[in-house]
Chains A and B, each alone.
Chain A
């Protein structure tokens, strides 16, 4: 208690209440700066396109009460759901397995490179870490060559398409799942390694003394202790993969397997101009899964990005 107040006394930049007030005003102003583009988008997305005038786009549509604000309608959201529906389904098919795979493999790699220590592992680990910073452009042409000309995934999928729920174009999503798993591994490994370094060695040593195999140590000791980190890693990977455009653009290219970010690029533009309510509804719909994850698990997301 006393240290807390002492710390506050020493560290407070703004001494008296006027300064305190200015501090809060600045913080609120910055909050408004970060929220207004999203708020304006949300308000515009519930205006009936026919009554949209573009005046006061940040106000809710209160048309006959306040003129010029447009009338309320869910039509843009229905249009967005129509336009993005297939993309949303494809994105889910992509994101769920890619997130789980990269998280699981990242945890295993971090275990083999941290909890079990051996000479030379740091060299292997550096190759993992460096992978975080690779600009994707440096691998795009080989990836396209690999998936389209080297691996016959497409022909492998043709017989599978007879199965229910499987379509031939799903081969592109499988290619994307594997690619995202590989490129998500470095950051997942880094996050898990930071976690495993903090775990005490005693339990692992005791288990080794008892003659436990490495697989048993992982399953019985490390995996249960990794659960909080899995939450962080899954949230981070889910956001990253859901939000990606570049890999989808170069591996899926076009067609039925297009993911939601690809479909969002072209929505709401036509010969007759831009349909802003539809476009804002589509942007929010595409962002909705990551926004919900962020709103409910924001602290874990912050942990992931700060690592």
Chain B
């Protein structure tokens, strides 16, 4: 068959001739000769696996969110409606429950606050550290290894470490505050500080990642750009601000996308920190709310509806990113 990719046609032209000499294949070979089909044993099984487990599950989840599935038993797909979404936005008593269900605004707000504060601070810390590490320092590898170390840990483990750091009586944070004459203050169970404490621990874990991404970005900038800015007489800080940082846009965008998605996954951290599904209203995020509704309260369909909202948030961040990557031919 014709193959429309000219590069491929060129590449395969010789191949076809060889086979034509053998007298077995012709230009109008069967569909089985297409490279997409011949390479199918390699890409099709993995594709079916993600098709079933990722995309099949997402579609199934959307359908589930339209049911009244609650408690034990199995979902009833005969009556679908958007009641769960109405409840998610306005609250009230749904038909599948005798109890009032809260809307998701509080958790959604906390999700956005955590996402924005965590990713912005991570990027800022990462950028400053990348610039410092890029100063031809000695032991660069050792420093980099130390800065990235927390990222190899599980959310569950870091939550345990920070629970200890934040402890009122014995925590290092309070010991330091005590040394400067403040506190001791309750942090982990303090409604005013909870979310900040979570964000701070996550920044500790992931700012090293932002540094690695920025460092790669800095190393990709040609030395001549640094030199040109020097010749123009720009001061060091102005040179970085005007010449270097604008060139780090790609690094910023890709780090930002990854970090925001990480913050949507902060469930593991909160579950470990608060020993269960109840971080309390001031640290409740959509990820936690969804799992709590489904797995602790048995409100499966309502949990699915919250999951759809979370999925839409992730999609809104990721889809433009993948689209620009595609347009640039970087996929």
Query: B131: nearest residue on chain A (CB-CB)?
Result: A13
Residues of B near A239 (CB, < 8 A) are: 152
Query: A3: nearest residue on chain B (CB-CB)?
Result: B223
Question: What is the bound-complex CA distance between A179 and B152, given in angstroms?
Answer: 21
Contact B265 A305 (CB under 8 A): no
Q: Is B241 an interface residue (CB 8 A)?
A: no
CB distance from B108 to the nearest CB of A (A): 13
A4-17, CB under 8 A of B: which get 1 and which 0? 00111011111000
CB distance from A40 to the nearest CB of B (A): 6
Q: Is A122 an interface residue (CB 8 A)?
A: yes
Residues of A near B58 (CB, < 8 A) are: 134, 138-139
Which one of B7-15, B90-98, B116-124, B189-197 is at the interface? B7-15
Q: Is B85 an interface residue (CB 8 A)?
A: no
Residues of A near B167 (CB, < 8 A) are: 54, 276
CB distance from B205 to the nearest CB of A (A): 9
Q: Is A117 an interface residue (CB 8 A)?
A: yes
CB distance from B49 to the nearest CB of A (A): 5
Q: Is A93 an interface residue (CB 8 A)?
A: no
Contact B39 A269 (CB under 8 A): no
Which listed residue (A111, A209, A266) contacts B18, Cβ 8 A? A209
Residues of A near B80 (CB, < 8 A) are: none
Which listed residue (B136, B267, B304, B331) contacts A122, Cβ 8 A? B331
Which listed residue (B47, B56, B151, B157) contacts A109, Cβ 8 A? B47
Contact B161 A291 (CB under 8 A): no
Interface size, chain A (Cβ < 8 Å)? 112
CB distance from A273 to the nearest CB of B (A): 10
Residues of A near B82 (CB, < 8 A) are: none
Question: Known contacts A8-B136, A13-B135; is A131 also within 8 Å of B204 by CB?
Answer: no
Residues of A near B212 (CB, < 8 A) are: 302, 305-306
A139-162, CB under 8 A of B: which get 1 and which 0? 111110110010000000000000
Contact B267 A10 (CB under 8 A): no
Question: What is the bound-complex CA distance between A12 and B303, given in angstroms?
Answer: 53
Question: What is the bound-complex CA distance between A305 and B56, given in angstroms?
Answer: 27
Q: Is B55 an interface residue (CB 8 A)?
A: yes
Contact B50 A119 (CB under 8 A): no
CB distance from B50 to the nearest CB of A (A): 5
Which listed residue (B148, B155, B286, B319) contacts A298, Cβ 8 A? B148
Contact A138 B147 (CB under 8 A): no
Q: Is B314 an interface residue (CB 8 A)?
A: yes
Query: A24: nearest residue on chain B (CB-CB)?
Result: B137
Query: B255: nearest residue on chain A (CB-CB)?
Result: A306
Which listed residue (A57, A126, A214, A298) contacts B172, Cβ 8 A? A57
Contact B135 A38 (CB under 8 A): no
Question: Known contacts A137-B291, A140-B291; is A34 also within 8 Å of B50 by CB?
Answer: no
Interface size, chain B (Cβ < 8 Å)? 118
Which one of A71-79, A225-233, A242-250 is at the interface? A242-250
Q: Is B105 an interface residue (CB 8 A)?
A: no
Most chain B CB within a 10 A radius of its CB, from A30, A137, A215: A137
B278-314, CB under 8 A of A: which get 1 and which 0? 0000000011001100110000100110111011001
Contact B42 A23 (CB under 8 A): no
Contact A34 B204 (CB under 8 A): yes
CB distance from B285 to the nearest CB of A (A): 10
Residues of B near A7 (CB, < 8 A) are: 136, 223, 226
Contact A141 B304 (CB under 8 A): yes
Contact B169 A54 (CB under 8 A): yes
Contact A113 B43 (CB under 8 A): yes
Question: What is the bound-complex CA distance between A291 and B55, given in angstroms?
Answer: 33
Which listed residue (B50, B160, B322) contacts A283, Cβ 8 A? B160
Q: Is B29 an interface residue (CB 8 A)?
A: no
Q: Is B129 an interface residue (CB 8 A)?
A: yes
Contact A140 B49 (CB under 8 A): no
Question: What is the bound-complex CA distance between A306 and B294, given in angstroms?
Answer: 34
Q: Is A218 an interface residue (CB 8 A)?
A: yes
Q: Is B183 an interface residue (CB 8 A)?
A: no
Contact A143 B265 (CB under 8 A): no
Residues of A near B49 (CB, < 8 A) are: 105, 181-182, 185
Contact B135 A34 (CB under 8 A): no
Which listed residue (A36, A185, A293) contacts B46, Cβ 8 A? A185
CB distance from B140 to the nearest CB of A (A): 9
Q: Is A27 an interface residue (CB 8 A)?
A: yes
Residues of A near B5 (CB, < 8 A) are: 117-119
Query: B47: nearest residue on chain A (CB-CB)?
Result: A124
Question: Known contacts A134-B314, A280-B164, A301-B152; is A182 also within 8 Å of B50 by CB?
Answer: yes
Query: B319: nearest residue on chain A (CB-CB)?
Result: A130
A179-204, CB under 8 A of B: which get 1 and which 0? 10111011001000000000001000
Contact A182 B308 (CB under 8 A): no
Contact B157 A264 (CB under 8 A): yes
Q: Is B89 an interface residue (CB 8 A)?
A: no
Contact B275 A266 (CB under 8 A): yes
B210-246, CB under 8 A of A: which get 1 and which 0? 0011001000000100110010000010001000000
Contact A57 B47 (CB under 8 A): no
**In A11-69, which residues have CB < 8 Å from any B CB?**
11-14, 23-24, 26-27, 30-31, 33-38, 40-41, 44, 54-55, 57-58
Chosen A-B contacts, 12 in total, with CB atoms closer than 8 Å, are A30-B129, A36-B172, A137-B306, A139-B54, A141-B303, A145-B75, A149-B74, A182-B50, A264-B157, A280-B164, A283-B157, A294-B149
5 shortest interchain CB distances as A-B pairs: A54-B170, A112-B43, A112-B42, A243-B154, A182-B53
**Other CB < 8 Å A-B pairs besides A140-B294, A178-B53, 13 of them?**
A23-B137, A109-B46, A127-B47, A127-B55, A134-B311, A136-B265, A137-B291, A138-B314, A143-B53, A183-B54, A243-B154, A243-B268, A305-B212
